[in-house]
Amino acid sequence: MSKQNQWIVGINAVASAVEHDAEHVREVLVEAGAKNPRLAEIETAARRRDIDVRRVAQQALDGVAGGVRHQGVAARYAAAKTWDEHDLSDLVGQAGGRALLLVLDGVQDPHNLGACLRSAAAAGATAVVIPKDKAVQVNATVRKTSAGAADSIPVVRVTNLSRTLAELQKLGVWIYGLAGDAKASLYALDLRGNVALVLGGEADGLRRLTREHCDQLVSVPMPGLETSPGVESLNVSVAAGVTLFEAVRQRSG
């Protein structure tokens, strides 16, 4: 697991870091004079955990937030919870034959990645896998959009996504890619064992090599596209939620 210093901002992201990973929060900045009661709750929780808290002017928060809406609070965080491909085998093994992985092939929008992390955490996914290159990484915007999920789910950064999919297959993980042109339906799959759900980026979907490393390509049935040709297909974060919770439905049954 790699570590780096960064600022995280926003009420949900900072509150989650203080609650779930206090040992890596170095200090919390709270806007002086702010009236939001949740800021007082964060300050109290941080002080209870012996985290330094400073009241600062809004301009100071604007500076560390880098353009992200900070809601009056920021925290200096000493460990971004990201894993690499060497940790995947352990994560899959610990899942006891019920690993649920979300693999994102080149998502560019930090809001989409944050929303995907939020859905993955809510679904109890084992990990989210993203490429190190040509894809957005876990930054302040992602952390804020994820509403704390970036602190609670492993985000595995890999150098070569195709190779990683091949390694997962060797570990007994079935790889299912979502593609709009696929004839098979998501709802026909058995998603109760070791499964990786692979979604493409916003512009181009799954890349050719990624598609070739999937055991099967499937689509989410969208009858509205047939009756209303102008309607767009699902956003990647919405598609991630649909696929993850189909797996949850099957596993809970």
What is d(CA 40, CA 45) in angstroms, rounded to the nearest whole number?
A: 9
Class assignment of domain 82-252?
alpha beta
Which residues lie closer than 8 Å to 81 by C-beta, 6 or more apart? 1, 21, 150, 151, 154, 155
Annotated binding residue 217: no
Percentage of residues in the chain having pLDDT higher than 90: 66
Q: Could you tell me which CATH number the domain at 6-77 has?
A: 3.30.1330.30
pLDDT in tens, 20-31: 878 888 999 999
Neighbours of 227 (CB within 10 A): 7
- For the residues 242-247, what does the mean pLDDT come to? 97
Kindly indicate the confidence band of residue 2, based on its pLDDT and cuts at 50, 70 and 90: very low
Amino acid found at 79: A
The residue with greater pLDDT, 230 or 139, is 139
User: 17-21, 47-51, 75-79, 87-91: which range is least confident on average?
Assistant: 75-79
Chain region(s) in the chain for CATH 3.30.1330.30 = 6-77
Annotated binding residue 200: yes
Which residues lie closer than 8 Å to 115 by C-beta, 6 or more apart? 145, 146, 237, 240, 241
Spatial contact of 68 and 75, defined as CB atoms under 8 Å apart: no
Asked whether the predicted pLDDT for residue 151 surpasses 50, the reply is yes
- For the residues 216-223, what does the mean pLDDT come to? 90
Sheet of strand 73-77, all strands in order from the earlier edge strand to the far edge: 6-9, 73-77, 25-31, 52-56
Asked whether the predicted pLDDT for residue 143 surpasses 80, the reply is no
What is d(CA 155, CA 84) in angstroms, rounded to the nearest whole number?
A: 8
